[in-house]
Amino acid sequence: MRTLTMIGVPSSAGSYAAGQDQAPRALRHAGLVEALAAAGIDVHDAGDLTAQVWAPDRDDRFAQNIGQVVASVQELADHVPRLMADDRRLLVLGGNCTIAVGLLAGLDAALDERCGLLYIDRHFDMNTPGTTIEGALDWMGLAHALDLPGSRDEFAGAFATRPVLDPRRLAFLGTDPTQSTEFEREQIAALDIGVTTQAEMIADPAGAAAAALRALPDAPFAVHVDVDVLDFTDAPLAENTSGRNIGPTLDQLGAALDVVVSDPRCRALAIGELNPTRAAGDTTALTRFVAALTAVLARWTG
């Protein structure tokens, strides 16, 4: 049984509003640590990094709170090598989707090689401050990791390697291309990035996961799960509430993740965009999510 190290990144600075900053605490309160231990997992809870709560940034409306976002992902990247000592597996509890950028930069440093990223999300998160007026950086993380045109220097150049991510080392799973901008679709086509869609994931979770994995190179990779990939009616957990009656169920996500973590290249898992306030009307949502995540992690560390 490998040791699983868990760390929280309680930040909503890159979000549309406050809420995701509460996710690490809410998952612990829902019994995550106890469930992992009961499943026989040797879990080390490393606590939380610096807390950040979203506030409107009226001075930088199209890249709101970018200084806080960059500080958060840099802090995570700096911690990852120590957290992954002794061949440990790493679980990151976010927080914004931008944690995927810090996790990948840290994984590269920890393993001293360029690693891949499997991005499980309804969205591509490949916008820049010039392609959307919404200003939330959690819709722009991968654009900055890839250093796409229009990326802000302070984010795209925040790490030792620029770009942080080679497009040949990125694959998407569960995305809905109708929920993307024209700029994102153009970049996906131009960079020839592997995309396995939401419809494919619903029809055959295990097969879709296997297809997405085939698009990654033969190198270690991190997997990022944005909970807005889920059907919001089945599991009301996501910051983005538009996914009602679309997307995979929690069980289907678990079936896909079983395949992902069975791949020996998988070294780290991040959970992003979970907003506990969304589950106020469904007292089972967080506990069901904890149970599904525990089942996956038991297979990963066993």
The rounded radius of gyration (Å) of the Cα atoms in the chain is: 17
How many Å from the N-terminal Cα to the C-terminal Cα in the chain?
5
Give all strands (DSSP E) within 10-124, no chain letters: 42-48, 89-94, 116-120
Tell whether the model's pLDDT for residue 1 goes beyond 80: no
Q: State how far the Cα of 109 lies from the Cα of 161, in Å rounded to an integer.
A: 10
Residue 86 is predicted with a pLDDT of 84
| Residue 251 belongs to domain with CATH number | 3.40.800.10
- Number of domain units in the chain: 1
**Cβ–Cβ under 8 Å, residues 257 and 151:** no
pTM above 0.85, yes or no: yes
Q: Phi then psi for 218, rounded to 5 degrees?
A: -80, 80
pLDDT in tens, 131-175: 999 999 999 999 999 999 999 999 999 999 999 999 999 999 999
Residue 276 is predicted with a pLDDT of 96
> Residue 151 belongs to what domain range?
3-301
Mean of the pLDDT values across residues 97-115? 97
**Cβ–Cβ under 8 Å, residues 118 and 169:** no
Residue 220 is predicted with a pLDDT of 98
Residues 6+ away with beta carbon under 8 Å from 134 = 16
Residue 87 is predicted with a pLDDT of 86
Residue 251 is predicted with a pLDDT of 98
Mean pLDDT over each residue of the chain, to the nearest integer = 96
Q: State how far the Cα of 271 lies from the Cα of 285, in Å rounded to an integer.
A: 15
What's the gap between Cα 23 and its chain centre? Answer: 13
**In 3D, which of 247, 250, 248, 233 has the Cα closest to residue 288?**
250
Residue 2 is predicted with a pLDDT of 80
Mean of the pLDDT values across residues 187-213? 98
Decide the pairing of beta strands 170-175 and 194-197: parallel
121 secondary structure, DSSP code: -
pLDDT in tens, 266-296: 999 999 999 999 999 999 999 999 999 999 9
pLDDT in tens, 37-85: 999 999 999 999 999 999 999 999 999 999 999 999 999 999 999 999 8
Q: How far is CA 299 from CA 190, 204, 209, 295, in A?
A: 37, 20, 16, 7
